[in-house]
Amino acid sequence: MPVDLRDRVAIVTGGGRGIGRSIALGYARAGAEVLISAARNYEEAQAVADEARPLPGRIEALQADVTVLGDVERLVTRAVSLNGRIDVLVNNAARGMRFVNERFMTEPRPFWEADPDAWRMVMETNTVGVFLVSRAVVAHMLSAGHGSIVNVTINQQTMVRRGFSPYGPSKAALEAMTAVWAQELEGTGVVINLLLPGGATDTGMVPGDVPRDTRLLSPEIVVPGALYLAVTERSGQRIVGTEWTDTR
């Protein structure tokens, strides 16, 4: 069934490329006002906003690092100014294994060889960043009595795959956070759920030396599930793009 997001406001962190870009454009096609953030490559995010100009909705880009409290506050303040509300938050911004090991797909390395600063950056973006943005957004959602938080995750096999630390464990922590927060949000009208592609996806997180026989999914595979989660009234769902069937 078509999802109508007219008059709704969504934040999509890390919306300049990959999964975030696809979700942002999907929401704009459904009529939403979408604010996307980019920590470093603002030009990419602005290109996504430009791409959305013919669509029923609108995308605006803002340079903001989800691990920096001041940036998070600017992001949320700007989102509220768009239409006086925040209906959807997609926590997509993440750092992948390439920051720790550029050749992690073909030459996995043990955790004790990882650079501590890179390891910390991945964990902070993928967990602390989600906490900071969710914390700031949920205050507005609770006041309104409704809202949807979507946390982008990965396959559970990847969470414990050799050579995928700290990226895999950071997403395991994200899933635990989501389960805890769902309990704490129960009865408030605000829901929180998980979304993942269902396999290796053609994004900037995949290195150039990925094995040729690896079948990469299109980031677009998550869009139907992301649209559904924007309007669902139920927490505790884990939507896998490759398995998704809309049963509304």
Is the peptide bond prior to 54 cis by the omega test (within 30 degrees of 0)? no
pLDDT digits (tens, 9 = 90+) for 120-167: 999 999 999 999 999 999 999 999 999 999 999 998 988 899 988 899
Q: How high is the pLDDT of residue 213? A: 56
CA 59 to chain centre: 16
Active site residues: 167
Mean of per-residue pLDDT scores for the chain: 92
Question: Which residue has tokens 């009529």?
Answer: 31
Domain 9-243 part of CATH 3.40.50.720: yes
Q: How high is the pLDDT of residue 217? A: 85
Structure tokens at 2: 């078509």
Compute the distance between CA of residue 248 and CA of residue 240 in angstroms, rounded to an integer: 16
pLDDT digits (tens, 9 = 90+) for 103-112: 777 788 988 9
What is the average per-residue pLDDT within 164-193?
96
- What are φ and ψ of residue 35, in 5° steps? -110, 120
Check whether 210 has a pLDDT greater than 90: no
pTM, entire model = 0.92
Question: Which residue has tokens 């630390």?
Answer: 165
The 3-class SS string of 199-246 reads CCECCCCCCCCCCCCCCCECHHHHHHHHHHHHHCCCCCCEEEHHHCCC
